[in-house]
């Protein structure tokens, strides 16, 4: 009986380098575990203890990820996951997003009487899921990581249990998300059936090396996997859940979802497209029409997102539709990437700047909102520049950035993205993207007009802006302007990061 | 390894019949028990394909754990009143749903027929697995060596789910308002 044929003894050991590569994940998981222990021993009466623990966890994770970014690529657990510059770059981003979300939710939880330790623990678990998602090389690991991320977010969306909208949002997100997960899983099963492997690289090898074309199962499977991801990033045929969920979720969590979940899904999408050789001439995927489908989806997503955003007066809903529109721009970047020498760097840059400005915008909405997330209509902002000049200024910076007006990060990122699309000769797509972008300027500027050119309503002074949130806003404004004025550093970094993906 | 056609038609036919009952029964508990029977039929099909471990797992996990949970939920929620009445939906919707379902099944049938599959890991035919010591042995060895990461991550997922369930269930809803 030849059992050693299956079990390779080296698979059962783990070397020191592997442990070093795994440090960010271990730190994040360890932080969540310590949080659970704290919660068990009711040490959480002191609120700052949980918040401090989570922030330290994020800092340690970020620190280890920065160290690991320079390390050589390592394939871990017999090809299940990979530690390279790309994955650690995104680990830093997720740790950053989680930390800022915790900062901006501290006062929010106080005000809503929601200071429970589970909030922080779930946030850390969700960040861990995102980190694992971007480093997965195997469809099983990918699915489980996606579920770790999503399950925690489902609960966080419904965290304001006394609020009907929050419950509805959570339920909607959960049911539709579960359906999307099922579709993704079925697609993975079909891909496994077509190729006999769950490893992303192996699947591609199989699909390109077959002599008699791509089996139809493979085509259907790749479509279903794509649908699963397009749902997570809310591109147009699968976007209907998003405005309701964004409106119902606690405001800091909306910021976390719109940045973290989207960045994780896109980063994974890039890795899959890259290792499946999407767009290159030899690609088996050419026969699956994924490019045509993405083209249509990109146009629809940009157009519908921007047009519906015009009609919204509730700020969270408006940002939800604008976030759909941004998904469209990102898909344009995905389409262009294989045909230029810039590769996926513009998409990565766009994801980072998008995360920064959205986190800032939602931190401000958290400050401005009244109890139970009321007072977030457009009219509530009128005359904000007189009541809170600095907050109005910061919000103006973020909205300029989202509209893509210089000298903000949004302009640099959008310019770089569309430049790569021009290089790839997607002229029509660029024309449409610019048109949609022009539409978006209207609804962003409408907020500015309301803030700067109308008289203030309501005389009551809301009091001091909490220091924790002010820190988030200051930091994101600084980063937005910094990347906008001197983009070359970020551009270089994103290029180097994408470079590590290729090896 | 080819499946015995008699076993296939008996179990497959029964599975189809019980699936119909899941949908058509008015009483939710009866529907749930029909679903248990469907799972048993699947287990029969797996067993006749020499996948004994999956057959047992099917019974333990689906028929045992998941269905008990279903029935608990049905009984706790006291779901006697149907919230969805088929008669009230328009015929166009009904016809559309049936047509869509049939089209999907036909499409899958065509796809599976047309695709000629060459598995990458040719070592895992059922004859080979029996030679290596049977299903459960091979599976457990793989699970604790090659697939150790997904195995451990599943426990992380369960932990996150438990924390989420506690967060949803524990709090007093009346406190904040």
Tens digits of residue pLDDT in B114-128: 766 665 555 566 677
**Residue B169 touches partner A, C-beta closer than 8 Å:** no
Rounded Cα gap, residues A378 and A397, in angstroms: 17
Of A5, A78, A114, the CB nearest to B176: A114
Chain B residue with CA closest to A151: the answer is B161
Contact predicate B57/B43, CB 8 Å = no
User: What pLDDT score does A200 carry?
Assistant: 84
Centre a 10 Å sphere on the Cβ of residue A420 and count the other Cβ atoms it contains: 25
| pLDDT band (50, 70, 90) for residue B175 | very low
Q: Flag whether residue A371 sits within 8 Å of chain B, measured between CB atoms.
A: no
Residues A431 and A433: their CA atoms lie apart, in Å, by: 5
Instruction: Using CB atoms, pick whichever of A36, A195, A215 lies closest to residue B120.
Output: A195
- Domains of chain B (ranges plus CATH)? 5-80+92-134 (1.20.120.1200)
Q: What counts of helices (H) and strands (E) characterise chain A?
A: 20, 2
Rounded-to-integer distance, Cα B159 and Cα B63, Å:
23
Mean pLDDT value across residues B131-143 = 80
Helices (H), chain B: 5-24, 28-48, 52-57, 67-77, 91-114, 126-131, 135-143, 148-170
Tracing tokens 């007093």 back to the chain, one arrives at B172
ipTM of predicted assembly, 2 dp: 0.89
Domain boundaries, chain A: 289-503
Question: Tens digit of pLDDT for each residue in A246-280?
Answer: 989 999 999 999 999 999 999 998 888 777 666 55
Minimal C-alpha gap between A88 and chain B (Å): 18
Which residues on A lie below 8 Å from B114 (Cβ)? 215-216
Q: Pick B157's closest partner by Cβ from A116, A144, A197.
A: A144
Mean of the pLDDT values across residues A199-223?
Answer: 75
Sort out which chain A residues have CB atoms less than 8 A from B160's CB and list them: 122, 125-126, 129, 148, 151-152
User: What are the pLDDT digits (tens) for A480-499?
Assistant: 999 888 889 989 999 998 88
| Per-residue pLDDT, A160 | 87
Residue A253 preceded by cis peptide, ω within 30: no
**Contact by Cβ (8 Å): B33, B24:** no
Using CA atoms, how far residue B2 sits from B10, B41, B118, in Å, is: 16, 18, 17
Q: Do A29 and B156 touch (CB under 8 A)?
A: yes
CA distance B109 to chain A (A): 10
Q: From its phi and psi, is residue B25 left (phi > 0), alpha (psi between -120 and 50) or beta?
A: beta
Closest CA to A57 of A81, A31, A96: A31
Torsion of CA A29, A353, A246, A250, to 10 degrees: 50
The model's pTM: 0.91
What residue in A sits closest to B156 (Cα-Cα)? A148
- Specify which residues A83 forms β-bridges with: A74
Predicted pLDDT of residue A4: 44
Contacts of B109 in chain A (CB under 8 A): none
Facing residue for B163 by CB, picked from A81, A121, A197: A121
At A50, list the tokens.
Answer: 């949980």
With an 8 Å Cβ cutoff, is B92 touching chain A?
A: no
């Amino acid at each position: 009986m030849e059992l050693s044929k299956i079990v390779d003894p080296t698979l059962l050991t783990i070397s020191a380098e592997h442990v070093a590569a795994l440090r960010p994940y271990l730190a994040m998981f360890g932080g969540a575990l310590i949080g659970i222990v704290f919660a068990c021993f009711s040490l959480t009466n002191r609120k700052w203890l949980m918040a401090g623990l989570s922030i330290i966890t994020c800092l340690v994770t970020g620190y280890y990820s920065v160290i690991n970014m320079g390390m050589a690529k390592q394939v871990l657990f017999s090809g299940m996951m990979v530690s390279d510059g790309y994955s650690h770059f995104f680990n830093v981003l997720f740790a950053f997003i989680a930390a800022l979300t915790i900062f901006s939710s501290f006062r929010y939880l106080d005000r809503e009487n929601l200071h429970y330790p589970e909030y922080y623990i779930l946030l850390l678990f969700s960040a861990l899921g995102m980190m694992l998602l971007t480093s997965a090389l195997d469809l099983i690991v990918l699915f489980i990581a996606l579920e770790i991320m999503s399950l925690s977010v489902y609960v966080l969306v419904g965290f304001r249990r006394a609020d009907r909208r929050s419950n509805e949002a959570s339920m909607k997100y959960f049911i539709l998300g579960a359906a999307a997960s099922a579709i993704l899983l079925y697609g993975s099963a079909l891909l496994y059936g077509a190729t006999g492997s769950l490893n992303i690289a192996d699947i591609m090898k199989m699909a390109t090396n077959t002599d008699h074309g791509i089996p139809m199962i493979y085509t259907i499977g790749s479509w279903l996997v794509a649908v699963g991801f397009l749902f997570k990033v809310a591109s147009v045929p699968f976007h209907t859940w998003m405005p309701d969920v964004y409106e119902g979720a606690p405001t800091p969590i909306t910021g976390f979802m719109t940045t973290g979940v989207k960045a994780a899904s896109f980063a994974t999408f890039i890795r899959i497209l890259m290792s499946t050789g999407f767009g290159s001439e030899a690609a088996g995927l050419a026969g699956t029409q994924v490019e045509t489908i993405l083209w249509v989806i990109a146009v629809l997503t940009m157009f519908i997102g921007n047009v519906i955003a015009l009609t919204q007066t509730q700020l969270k809903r408006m940002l939800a539709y604008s976030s759909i529109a941004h998904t469209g721009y990102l898909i344009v970047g995905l389409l262009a990437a294989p045909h230029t020498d810039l590769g996926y760097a513009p998409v990565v840059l766009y994801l980072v700047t998008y995360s920064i400005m959205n986190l800032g915008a939602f931190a401000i909405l958290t400050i401005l909102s009244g109890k139970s997330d009321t007072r977030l209509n457009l009219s509530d902002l009128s005359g904000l520049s007189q009541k809170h000049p600095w907050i109005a200024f910061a919000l103006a910076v973020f909205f300029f950035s989202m509209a893509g007006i210089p000298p903000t990060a949004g302009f640099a990122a959008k310019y770089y993205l569309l430049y790569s699309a021009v290089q790839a000769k997607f002229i029509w797509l660029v024309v449409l993207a610019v048109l949609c972008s022009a539409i978006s300027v209207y609804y962003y500027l409408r907020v500015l007009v309301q803030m700067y050119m109308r008289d203030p309503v309501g005389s009551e002074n809301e009091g001091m802006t909490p220091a924790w949130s002010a820190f988030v806003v200051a930091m994101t404004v600084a980063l937005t302007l910094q990347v906008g004025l001197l983009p070359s550093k970020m551009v270089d970094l994103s290029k180097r990061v994408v470079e590590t993906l290729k090896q | 390894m080819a499946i015995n056609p008699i076993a296939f038609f008996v179990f497959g036919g029964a599975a189809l019949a019980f699936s119909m009952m899941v949908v058509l029964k008015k009483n939710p508990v009866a529907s749930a028990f029909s679903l248990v029977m469907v799972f048993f039929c699947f287990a029969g099909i797996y067993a006749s394909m020499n996948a004994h471990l999956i057959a047992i797992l099917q019974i333990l996990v689906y028929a045992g754990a998941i269905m008990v949970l279903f029935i608990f939920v049905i009984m706790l929620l006291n779901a006697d009143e149907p919230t969805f009445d088929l008669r009230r939906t328009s015929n166009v919707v009904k016809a559309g749903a049936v047509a869509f379902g049939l089209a999907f099944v036909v499409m899958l049938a065509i796809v599976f027929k047309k695709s000629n599959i060459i598995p990458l890991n040719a070592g895992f035919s059922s004859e080979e697995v029996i030679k290596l010591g049977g299903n459960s042995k091979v599976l457990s060895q793989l699970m604790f060596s090659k697939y150790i990461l997904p195995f451990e991550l599943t426990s992380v997922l369960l932990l996150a789910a438990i924390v989420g369930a506690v967060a949803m269930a524990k709090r007093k809803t009346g406190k904040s308002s």
